Amino acid sequence: MKKEDIVKIVAEEFNLSEVDVLNYFDDIFDVLIECFRKNKNVNISEFGKFLVRLRLNQEGVKEKIVTFSPVKKLADDVNYYFNNLSKVNLRTLDGKVLDDIAIQQRIDIDLPQDFEEFDIIEIEDVQDEEELLKDYLEPIIEIEEEVVIKEEHIETIKELESKDIKVKEEITPELEIQKVEEHVDTVAEVKEHIDVIEEEKPEEDEHIEVIEEESKDLNIEQEITQEKEVEEKSFDVETEMKSFLLEHISLKGKEKGTPEIDEYTIVSKEDEKKETGDVVEDISIQEISEKREVDSEEDILSKENYEEEIEEITTERDKIIEEISNRELELSDFKKEEGTLAEKEEILGDVTDKEKPGDEKIDHEKEEELPAPKELDKVAITDVEDVKEEIEKIFAERNKILSEIVELNLDKPELDEKTLPEEQAEPQEVIDKQEVSKEVKSDEDEIVRMIEERQRILKKIQGLSIGEFKKSPGDEEVLNEEPEGNEESHKDINEENISKEKEEKTEKEAISECDDIKPEEELSVSLDDFEEGEVESIRSGIFSSNNIEEDINKILDERKKIIDNITNLELSVFDKLMEDSEKESSESVINQDIENLTKIKMNLGEADLKSVSESTVITQPEVEDAIDLPDPPLEFKIKKDVKELHDDIVEEDSDKVEEIPKDKYIEDPKNFDDIFIQDDQKVYARDNDEGYSNESKSSLRDNEDDDKKNEKKEDEHSDGKNEKSNKKSFTIPWMILSSLIV
């Protein structure tokens, strides 16, 4: 109900216009608000009390608040459903539980007395008895319907049970046939898996074929035994469960495609269909589920065994393939090396021909001796050891052959140098350094190497000297010295290392090659420029292209260091010069100050300023004569005063000082008093304390205070006797200058 509804009702009841009633309604609450504003509580009988209260706001300000407390009747009407409820004493403060009371009261609370009364009220509201009867009769009818529904439900349950039985009879054979089919599929898939393994194996590896055949035989035997068992056993629930569990194995195969079924499997299907139908009809589903749970573990184990065996076979197969591939690679390497040697030397041909069939024999023997697949790990280890032994034998034979080649080369040195390429010569040196170094041949090879290195070094140095080091002439000299020494170093090496008989030949060859290579005459240098350490390094063969680069880098580093040192020296010299210039500038500043003073003197007048200048100049010797203290403090003070004056002049524009109007000074002053009198507007003599304005007095007091402070400072450095003379000497020019500045 809203305000408008109330207005309409009242207007209809009392035959009043709605506007009047509405105005009356509004006036009621306006009057109430006015009463609240006047802090008057309003009591409306049969409705409630409006109380006005003061409350502190969040901001700390008092606010008026109106509260309403309804009449008891109104409150009871509002709380109609909970009026009969009362307080319940649960327990005393001592801890005694008042269970009896609590339970009783709770029971009273729980009892739906209120709701009974509520029903009665509804009945009171209803006027017709028929409606009441309907209300009471309806639940009875509902109960009858429920009973009917229950009966129907029972019937439906019975029907469903009968149907379920039929469904069991109809569905179970089909499901079990599917299971049997899947089991047959698994057998076919295992065969396919074996075929796949057969296809994957390489044809070359006979050893692997033997292993796989054995593994196949094992697997096929197991599978055949399983199939026989399937035939022999009557298709009990256990076998069906096994077949059901074997489905998991065949899932992967089904995803790829349905396998082909053999005649054997088709026959077994037909037999199974007949047998399974009879068996499953007798057995209930609960029994089947129980048996499945019991037999599932055993079937899983059987499946896992199949999978594990297949995995083991595959892993072993992979290992064997890897070993064989490694062997082939090793043998191919040896064959290549031996083949190259056999082409050049017929002696080696016989040896290699002997080795090749030997390897094949070994392989055949191994293949024959290969054990069952479970013992393949041991076999693999033995094979590796055999291979190592073979390799060692091959190395020993190879070393013998090389030694023979060396001997042959010694007999025919000229042919060997030309025929054998450099690529073959290098590995010979690597392997037989100790043996060959004793012989003369090694010396010749070393000489050849040294000559080659020398050529490379010379080329690099030429490139560097032309390209990088043109900018720094000092470095060119350093770099040009090194290659010049190389030639002589080579000569020294030849003299020391080569025997006397072969010195001449080698020197001639080296010199002939060097003459061909020499690009410039500048590279020839005497031994005096070459250090002993470098010669030794060249002798030991360390002097290579890498060492040259390192030396160049070292030279560059030294160059950088020298440049840094030069820059540091320049900076230090520059700093010293700056310090000297500062000293000179300080002296020059003093001189400039003196000059400024002289200018001021010129402005003031020559005659009197002479005395001023004398006062400034004369004070120093007086102090020196009078006081035993050292000079520096006084000089420092004078300089300080002069600097302060200079700074003040600079700040206040020297032009102003120079361009003092003529009215401010006297052209020919006779006494200082005249000056002070002229400037008495702002500067005054100390004796004349009269006629000061307030501002001028304050300024003078400040000046006097400053003077006193200065005097105190001076007194610290001077004795009491000479105080008067010093005061006079310093005070007079200060006053003059201050007057001029102002």
Contact footprint for another protein (CB under 8 A):
1-3, 5-6, 9-10, 13-14, 16, 20-21, 23-25, 27-29, 31-33, 35-37, 40-47, 50, 52, 63-68, 70, 74-75, 77-82, 85-94, 98, 102, 105, 109
Which of residues 50 and 672 has its CB atom nearest to another protein in the complex? 50
Instruction: Determine the residue type at 594.
Output: I
Residue 116 Cβ vs another protein, minimum distance, rounded to whole Å: 18
Q: Which is nearer to another protein, 65 or 154 (CB)?
A: 65
Task: Compare residues 74 and 251 and give the one whose CB is closer to another protein.
Answer: 74
Contact between 276 and 230 under an 8 Å Cβ cutoff? The reply is no
HSE-up of residue 434 (Cα within 13 Å, Cβ side) = 1
- Is residue 182 within 8 Å of 246, Cβ to Cβ? yes
CB of 143 to another protein, least distance (A): 33
Whose Cβ is closer to another protein: residue 38's or residue 418's?
38
CB of 131 vs another protein, minimal distance in Å: 22
Q: Nearest approach, Cβ of 9 to another protein (angstroms)? A: 6
Q: Shortest distance, CB of residue 98 to another protein, whole angstroms?
A: 7
At its nearest, how many Å lie between another protein and the CB of residue 125?
13
Give min distance, CB of 126 to another protein, in A.
18
- Which tokens in the block code for residue 701? 């007091």
In the complex with another protein, the residue whose CB is nearer, 13 or 129, is 13
Q: How far is the CB of 23 from another protein (least distance, A)?
A: 6
The number of residues in the chain equals 742
Residue matched to tokens 């054979």: 173
687's CB contacts (< 8 A; 6+ apart) are none
Strand 62-70 to strand 48-56: parallel, antiparallel, or no bridges (unpaired)? Answer: antiparallel
Smallest separation (angstroms) from another protein to the CB of 120: 18
Retrieve residue 549's tokens.
């680069």
Shortest Å, Cβ 87 to another protein:
5
Q: In what order do the strands lie in the sheet with 48-56?
A: 42-44, 48-56, 62-70
Q: How far is the CB of 51 from another protein (least distance, A)?
A: 10
Contact between residue 457 and residue 499 where contact means Cβ atoms under 8 Å apart? no
**Cβ 142 to another protein, closest distance in Å?**
30
Nearer to another protein, 1 or 301 (CB): 1
- Encoded tokens for 570: 């320049």
Distance CA 326, CA 322 (A): 6
Report the chain's terminal Cα–Cα distance, integer Å: 96
Q: How far is residue 685's CA from residue 694's CA, in Å, rounded to a whole number?
A: 16
Whose Cβ is closer to another protein: residue 50's or residue 692's? 50
- The nearer residue to another protein, 77 or 582, going by C-beta atoms, is 77
Cβ proximity to another protein, 25 vs 734, nearer residue: 25
200 closest CA partner among 316, 320, 314: 314
- φ/ψ of 660, rounded to 5, equals -70, 135
Nearer CB in complex with another protein: 46/625: 46
Nearer to another protein, 108 or 452 (CB): 108
Helix, strand or coil for residue 43?
A: strand
SS3 246: helix
> Please, what sign has the CA dihedral across residues 533, 538, 540, 544?
positive
Which residues in 367-392 are b (16+ Cβ under 10 Å) and which e? eeebeebeebeebeeebeeebeebee
Shortest CB 49 distance to another protein, Å? 10
Q: How is residue 116 written in tokens?
A: 């009974």
* Residue 484 in tokens: 């010049």
Q: State how far the alpha carbon of 117 is from the alpha carbons of 82, 84, 127, 130, 145, in Å.
A: 12, 11, 17, 20, 28
Asked if residues 516 and 477 have their Cβ atoms less than 8 Å apart, the reply is no
**CA nearest neighbour of 405 among 379, 383, 427, 389:** 427
Residue placing its CB nearer to another protein in the complex, 48 or 633: 48
Q: How far apart are alpha carbons 605 and 662 in whole angstroms?
A: 12
Give 43 or 693: the residue with its C-beta nearer to another protein: 43
